[in-house]
């Protein structure tokens, strides 16, 4: 039976205003960052359950038992408020379990968590990601910064592999392609830092309780991940190795 992976985030709605002389109008579109990481997860033999941001507010599990259905939870470009403020809490002041605490408990009991960088993970744009203030900070291999942590590099910067013999780099040769930005953070003493970017953590892992967690401090899709990264021959292999390592 395939292991199930819950991918949360990687979606957004864009609204555009067009002004044409006297007249103006709005148009909206829904988009996702799928097309790469989802294919990599499925190609690795895992069962993918995708939960976009607008559904995660209500559908992300509210019980530990439901989380146990998954071998790994991936948070990608989704802010902490999506889990911390259920719609009925915001509109009706109803109480619900803290789902960030549930994720922490899930890892301590043997689950695995992987956080992918972006404008709404780590701390992100304007600090709105806000994961540093949640129990999830306790079970990440890095310490998140409590402010806008984005490092934009339109010139492109190349990650440096520091532990080439690590299982995550099995069957990967050469260097990782340049990326266009990442979330700055600091490595924890107990963590494995296996790749860096501009001297900061790029790929890192740690054990907490019976489970594991990991981070990739850049995105898995544009804009930080340009075509050279997304279409890199090692992309699928890297994510397969990450999932295999986390779910062993």
Over the stretch 132-166, which tens digit does the pLDDT of each residue have? 999 999 999 999 999 999 999 999 999 999 999 99
Please state the pTM of the whole predicted model: 0.97
In the predicted structure, residue 97 carries a pLDDT above the cut 80: yes
pLDDT band at residue 1 using 50, 70 and 90 as cut-offs: low
Mean pLDDT on 166-193: 98
Over the stretch 182-194, which tens digit does the pLDDT of each residue have? 999 999 999 999 9
Mean pLDDT on 241-248: 97
Mean pLDDT on 224-230: 98
In the predicted structure, residue 2 carries a pLDDT above the cut 90: no
Residue 136: name the closest of 177, 103, 183, 109 by CA.
103
**Contact call for residues 170 and 184 (beta carbons, < 8 A):** no
Peptide bond between residue 235 and the one before it cis (omega within 30 degrees of 0): no
Q: Looking at the DSSP assignment, which residues form a beta bridge with residue 74?
A: 7, 114
Distance CA 32, CA 35 (A): 9
Over the stretch 39-72, which tens digit does the pLDDT of each residue have? 999 999 999 999 999 999 999 999 999 999 999 9
**Contact call for residues 70 and 4 (beta carbons, < 8 A):** yes
Which helix H or strand E contains 17, and what residues bound it?
strand 11-20
């Amino acid at each position: 039976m395939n292991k199930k992976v819950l991918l949360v985030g990687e979606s957004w709605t864009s609204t555009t205003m067009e002004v044409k002389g006297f007249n103006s109008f709005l148009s909206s579109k829904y988009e996702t960052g799928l097309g790469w990481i989802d294919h990599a997860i499925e190609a690795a033999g895992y069962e993918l359950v995708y939960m976009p941001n607008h559904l995660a507010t209500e559908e992300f599990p509210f019980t530990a038992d439901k989380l146990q259905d998954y071998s790994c939870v991936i948070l990608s470009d989704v802010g902490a408020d999506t889990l911390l403020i259920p719609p009925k809490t915001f509109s009706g002041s109803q109480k619900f379990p803290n789902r960030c605490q549930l994720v922490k408990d899930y890892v301590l009991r043997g689950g695995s968590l992987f956080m992918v960088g972006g404008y709404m993970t780590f701390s992100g744009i304007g600090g709105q990601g806000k994961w540093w203030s949640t129990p999830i900070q306790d079970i990440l291999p890095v310490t998140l910064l409590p402010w806008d942590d984005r490092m934009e590099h339109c010139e492109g910067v190349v990650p440096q592999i520091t532990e080439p013999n690590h299982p995550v780099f099995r069957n990967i040769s050469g260097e990782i392609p340049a990326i266009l930005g990442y979330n700055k953070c600091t490595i924890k003493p107990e963590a494995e830092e296996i790749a860096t970017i501009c001297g900061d953590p790029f790929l890192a892992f740690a054990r907490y309780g019976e489970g594991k967690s990991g981070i990739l401090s850049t995105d898995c899709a544009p804009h930080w991940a340009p075509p050279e990264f997304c279409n890199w021959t090692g992309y699928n292999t890297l994510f397969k190795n990450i999932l295999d390592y986390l779910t062993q």
